[in-house]
């Protein structure tokens, strides 16, 4: 059964791989995954004013274990159907990147399949150019902002996590542009205008 095609949400896909990871006897614990995700999130968002107070990193590293328990509890509450807790914008990306490699790769594949399923549902003839433009602006802005952080010193000093995230941001920007390009090509085709690349 193809659960992605049946409408699994992004958060459900992330949840399933997150649970598989910490339930695996050889996988990292729930606290370890939460710690990785929050520390990475804090590192990349600490210059912003809107870092979620629940994910505040303690100044004393001796308090890190207690904080990790609180963070893991907050993540559990987000995934619970009985709670109305929201995670900060884009935190799901950090949670995916905090998974052990084998689960992270599988999760990214499922998320990409989900994205492609959604994109595939909208044909160029049915697309809304204004929505495409807004999405392109959003995705390219996020990609540029992230890549600016990678640029100083080249790429050799960046972590695997940083490079994978940068690649993901670029792919999302490229896909957003391809949707708009498909809509323009469709309209040009309707007008019998030959497109020469």
The answer, yes or no, to whether residue 139 has pLDDT greater than 70, is yes
Condensed to tens digits (0 to 9), the pLDDT of residues 35-75 reads 999 999 888 876 555 566 788 888 888 899 999 999 999 99
| Angle subtended at Cα 69 by Cα 65 and Cα 75, rounded to the nearest 5 degrees | 140
**pLDDT value of residue 69:** 95
pTM of the model: 0.59
**pLDDT value of residue 120:** 57
Condensed to tens digits (0 to 9), the pLDDT of residues 167-182 reads 888 888 888 888 888 8
Position with higher pLDDT, 118 vs 88: 88
Cα–Cα distance for residue pair 168/161, rounded to 1 Å: 11
Q: Helices in 46-192 by DSSP H: which ranges?
A: 64-79, 91-98, 101-121, 129-150, 160-190
In sequence order, the 6+-apart residues with CB closer than 8 A to the CB of 189 are 195
- Give the residue extent of every domain in the chain: 1-121, 123-197
């Amino acid at each position: 059964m193809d659960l992605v095609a049946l409408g699994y949400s992004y958060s459900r896909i992330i949840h399933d791989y997150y649970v598989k990871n910490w339930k695996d006897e050889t996988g990292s614990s729930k606290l370890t995954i939460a710690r990785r995700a929050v520390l990475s999130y804090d590192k990349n968002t600490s210059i912003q004013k809107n870092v979620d107070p629940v994910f505040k990193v303690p100044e004393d590293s001796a308090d890190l274990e207690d904080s990790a328990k609180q963070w893991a509890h907050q993540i559990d509450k987000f995934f619970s159907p009985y709670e109305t807790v929201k995670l900060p914008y884009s935190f799901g990306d950090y949670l995916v990147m905090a998974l052990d490699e084998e689960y992270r790769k599988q999760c990214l594949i499922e998320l990409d399949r989900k994205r492609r399923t959604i994109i595939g549902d909208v044909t160029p003839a049915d697309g809304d150019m204004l929505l495409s433009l807004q999405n392109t602006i959003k995705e390219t802005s996020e990609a540029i902002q992230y890549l600016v952080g990678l640029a100083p010193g080249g790429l050799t000093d960046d972590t695997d996590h940083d490079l994978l995230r940068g690649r993901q941001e670029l792919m999302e920007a490229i896909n957003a542009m391809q949707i708009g390009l498909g809509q323009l090509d469709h309209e040009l085709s309707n007008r019998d205008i030959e497109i020469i690349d």
